[in-house]
Amino acid sequence: MYHAIVFLPLIGFLIAGLFGRLIGARASEIVTTALLLVAALLSWVALFQVGFGSGTTRIQVATWLASADLRVDWAFRIDTLTVVMLVVVNSVSSLVHLYSIGYMHEDPHRPRFFAYLSLFTFAMLMLVTADNLVQMFFGWEGVGLASYLLIGFWYQKPSANAAAMKAFIVNRVGDFGFLLGIFLVFVLFGAVTFDAIFPKAGELTSQTFRFIGYEWNALTLTCLLLFMGAMGKSAQFLLHTWLPDAMEGPTPVSALIHAATMVTAGVFMVARLSPIFEYAPVALTVVVVVGATTAFFAATVGLVQNDIKRVIAYSTCSQLGYMFVALGVGAYSAGIFHLFTHAFFKALLFLGAGSVIHAMHHEQDMRNMGGLRKHIPLTAAAMTIGTLALTGFPYFAGYFSKDAIIESAYASVGHGGFASSYAFVLLVVAALMTSFYSWRLYFMTFEGAPRWAGHGHDAHGHDDHAHAAHGKHDDHAHGHDDHGHGHHDHTPHESPLSMLIPLALLSIGAIAAGFAFKGVFIGDGYDAFWKGAIFTGKDNHILHAMHEVPKWVVWSPFFAMLIGFLLALYMYVLRPDVPGKLAAANPVLYRFLLNKWYFDEIYDFLFVKPSMWLGKFLWKKGDGFVIDGMGPDGISARVVDVTNRVVRLQTGYLYHYAFTMLIGVAGLVTWYLLRG
């Protein structure tokens, strides 16, 4: 069964990739989608089989590498953590495949698109089933490659190419740290297999390692390097800049990257390596601080974005911060719980946004929307459910998982100190901002007077931009999802059934996933469900403590959500003139948020421009002037010049040679006479 779960997407990739032109777009769609649906169904079977039955099993596929002390098998590690991720990856991916049949129906390159989607899924499955760090790194790099191919799918567009390059390069920075972490694990443990590493972790708590001139605690250094990889993949603060630009890919790609694959890889990796992280409290403190900072930062930027997909992208960035805070305070299962619920409602929001873009003929600017609920009621209903789940409305999915993280952050204040207090405050503030920007998106898109083309309204109605070009707007403007739908009727229209069915199924997940799985993820059924798949040290009582926090802590995210909702209602429904006035009154703050804290500009100044200058210098001066000047344009060119001239002496005429000899003889005689 597990072979089928992992390899069915690979088979789909090979069929659509190699034979797509031969069998045609329709057959490619059907084959890849059918294989993913089977894999998803088997993943749910595996969840109930492993989570509610058997424990950890290891399935050998093949021997991969054997070199001296390093032996790496290709094997599947099947435990509760694995099967939870299998459900997330295959469920969302299969629905994205189904949705793409409708969304991409006029794109001429559909076989290539579906092949890439299946490759992406296979790489993520390789990552989550990994039995060792080398196999995990193979999947890790696989999802990086697939994201590059999918973000830049419309490669004729310079912006798509730039976004794909950005994602690839920023991830290489994180991956460099991850690779160093894997090397250090091998140095310390003499193995890369989890079964060999985990039992020894407690023995190395006091060991040191010299790195860049300093003595470090070995496990702390290992975990910091591994977390650097997670920061890149999961778009944490400082390595987050690639994530919003990933919107350049087709909308189904955004749903897949942001909900089930790629960005969840870092969270999964830290949870998988919990036996090492538990013995590195300093590293866990760094995880908490980075996660809380990311949650807050991304939420502030989401407040003012206009591109419907970018708002949801920053929401993803923020929610990933929540997950890392949970991991950092030791509530690993709460972090995975939020990953699980988040997959459903974030995929729902992205695919819902795709349905809006489809209805609006590829318009993505929310300032050019409004009043769409009457035209696309099913999409509006799905987006409402997704928004309720994301903001943590009672008894929707996010209510259980997000609140659990906030409670665990507060519960850890006793032993986590400043970092836990910092995290708790920032997460509650971020919850308020999440509610505000989520409802802002909903009200601007679905409520109020229509502001779309042909409706006779000002296209830049009532948003907080007040027609002022406050800084550069990098909303890659007005609908770049241009796979060529040539509509003449500009009235918004509901999406086809192939797009609405995934929305309906994800809506069920967004409503029920939290309530249905709360007990086994973080409640009384914890031990029976996880069976040691996630490790917690003997002093880690966070799951017990989080259920005993004061009532005001329990209620704080609810009131934060409520305040955010009421603010959005006031500013975008009751008094739509307020946002523009607010932006005009605070132009510096507004520009600061609109331009994403100027991280792109800072990185451009610090890294991109110096790198470009150095590259140009080495090209023109180093390669062109020195190497070419000394080599092909220098010595070798002079040799060619001389030989070309000397060759002309070889004429083949006897009298030329006789004349040359006479000149030589005359020269010798003259020299002899002058010398006396």
615: which 2 tokens?
């590259």
What does 296-330 look like in DSSP terms, one character per residue?
HHHHHHHTT--BHHHHHHHHHHHHHHHHHHHHHTT
Band of residue 471 on the pLDDT scale cut at 50, 70, 90: very low
- Name the more confident of 570 and 524: 570
Q: Is 431 helix (H, G, I), strand (E, B) or coil?
A: helix
Q: Which amino acid is at 404?
A: A
Taking a C-beta distance cutoff of 8 angstroms, is the pair 457, 463 a contact? Answer: no
> Which whole number is the average pLDDT over 37-63?
88
**Residue (of 308, 319, 312, 314) closest to 342 by Cα position:** 319
Is the pLDDT confidence value at 472 over 80? no
Using DSSP bridges, classify how beta strands 70-78 and 57-67 pair: parallel, antiparallel or unpaired: antiparallel
| The pLDDT of residue 486 is above 70 | no
CA distance 408 to 646: 86
For the chain, give every domain's residue range.
55-79+130-479+501-594, 601-674
298-329 burial: b if 16+ Cβ within 10 Å, else e: bbbbbbbbbbbbbbbbbbbbbbbbbbbbbbbb
Average pLDDT over residues 223-239: 93
Q: In this predicted model, which residue has the larger pLDDT, 239 or 480? A: 239
Computed on alpha carbons and rounded to an integer, the radius of gyration of the chain in Å comes to 30
Per-residue confidence (pLDDT) for residue 457, from 0 to 100: 43
Tens-digit pLDDT profile for residues 177-219 = 999 999 999 999 988 999 999 999 888 888 888 888 888 889 9
- What is the band of 316 on the pLDDT scale with cuts at 50, 70, 90? very high
Picking from 68, 65, 46, the residue whose alpha carbon sits closest to that of residue 57 is 46
pLDDT at 342: 94
pLDDT for 503 beyond 50: yes
- Which residues lie closer than 8 Å to 654 by C-beta, 6 or more apart? none
Phi, psi of 521 (to 5 degrees): -80, -45
Between CA 124 and CA 146 the distance in angstroms is 10
Q: Tell me, what amino acid is at 643?
A: T
Average pLDDT over residues 340-369: 91
Q: What pLDDT was estimated at residue 314?
A: 93
Across 326-351, average pLDDT: 94
Identify the band that residue 326 occupies on the pLDDT scale cut at 50, 70 and 90: very high
Q: 155, 161 in Cβ contact below 8 A?
A: yes
Residue of 281 and 414 predicted with greater confidence: 281
What is the model's pLDDT at position 164? 93
Beta bridge partners of 193: 132
In this structure, what token pair is assigned to residue 487? 């509509």
Distance of CA 196 to the CA centre of its chain: 30
Cα–Cα distances (Å) from 674 to 11, 661, 670, 671, in that order, read 92, 20, 6, 5
Task: Collapse the DSSP code of 375 into the 3-class scheme (helix H, G, I; strand E, B; otherwise coil) and give the result.
Answer: coil
pLDDT at 532 over 80: yes
CB count in 10 Å sphere of residue 644: 9
pLDDT at 589 over 90: yes
Interval 138-159: pLDDT, tens: 999 999 999 999 999 988 889 9
Q: Lowest mean pLDDT of 327-331, 501-505, 624-628, name the range.
A: 624-628
> What value, to the nearest 5°, has the Cα angle with vertex 243 and ends 271 and 596?
120
- What pLDDT was estimated at residue 458? 41
Residue 455, pLDDT score: 60
The answer to whether the beta carbons of residues 389 and 398 sit under 8 Å apart is yes
Q: Which residues of 526-565 are buried (b: 16+ CB within 10 A; e: fewer)?
A: beebbbebbbbeeebebbebbeebeeebeebbbebbeebb
Residue 484's SS3 state is coil
Q: Which of 221, 177, 230, 178 is nearest to 339 (CA)?
A: 230
Which of 225-239, 531-545, 659-673 comes out lowest in average pLDDT? 531-545
| Per-residue pLDDT at 618 | 87
DSSP for 337-372 reads HHHHHHHHHHHHHHHHHHHHHHHTTS--BGGG---G
Mean pLDDT, range 25-37, rounded to an integer: 94
C-beta separation of 441 from 349 below 8 A:
no
- The answer, yes or no, to whether residue 482 has pLDDT greater than 60, is no
User: Phi and psi dihedrals of 506, rounded to 5?
Assistant: -65, -30
- d(CA 100, CA 30) in angstroms, rounded, equals 11
Range 60-81 average pLDDT? 86
pLDDT digits (tens, 9 = 90+) for 431-467: 999 999 999 999 999 988 888 776 644 434 344 443 3
Higher-scoring residue by pLDDT: 166, 472: 166
Region 536-561: mean pLDDT is: 90
pLDDT at 465: 42
Mean pLDDT of the chain: 88
SS3 673: helix
Residues 6+ apart with CB under 8 A from 271: 81, 327, 332, 335, 336, 534
Q: What is the pLDDT of residue 489?
A: 57
Which pair of structure tokens corresponds to residue 477? 């403007």
User: Are 343 and 94 in contact, with CB atoms under 8 Å apart?
Assistant: no
Single-letter code of the amino acid located at 368: N
Show Cβ contacts of residue 382 under 8 Å, excluding neighbours closer than 6 positions. 348, 351, 352, 355, 503, 504, 506, 507
User: What is the pTM (predicted TM-score) of this model?
Assistant: 0.87
H or E element, residue 40: helix 25-51
Asked if 184 contacts 221 with a C-beta cutoff of 8 angstroms, the reply is: yes
Nearest residue to 390 (alpha-carbon basis) of 403, 377, 406: 403
Of the pLDDT bands very low, low, confident and very high (cuts 50, 70, 90), residue 624 is: confident
3-state secondary structure of 60: strand
Mean pLDDT computed over 293-322: 93
The pLDDT of residue 114 is: 94
pLDDT tens readout for residues 249-305: 888 998 888 887 889 999 999 999 999 999 999 999 999 999 999 999 999 999 999
Q: Please tell me which residue, 88 or 644, carries the higher pLDDT value.
A: 88
CA distance 311 to 301: 8
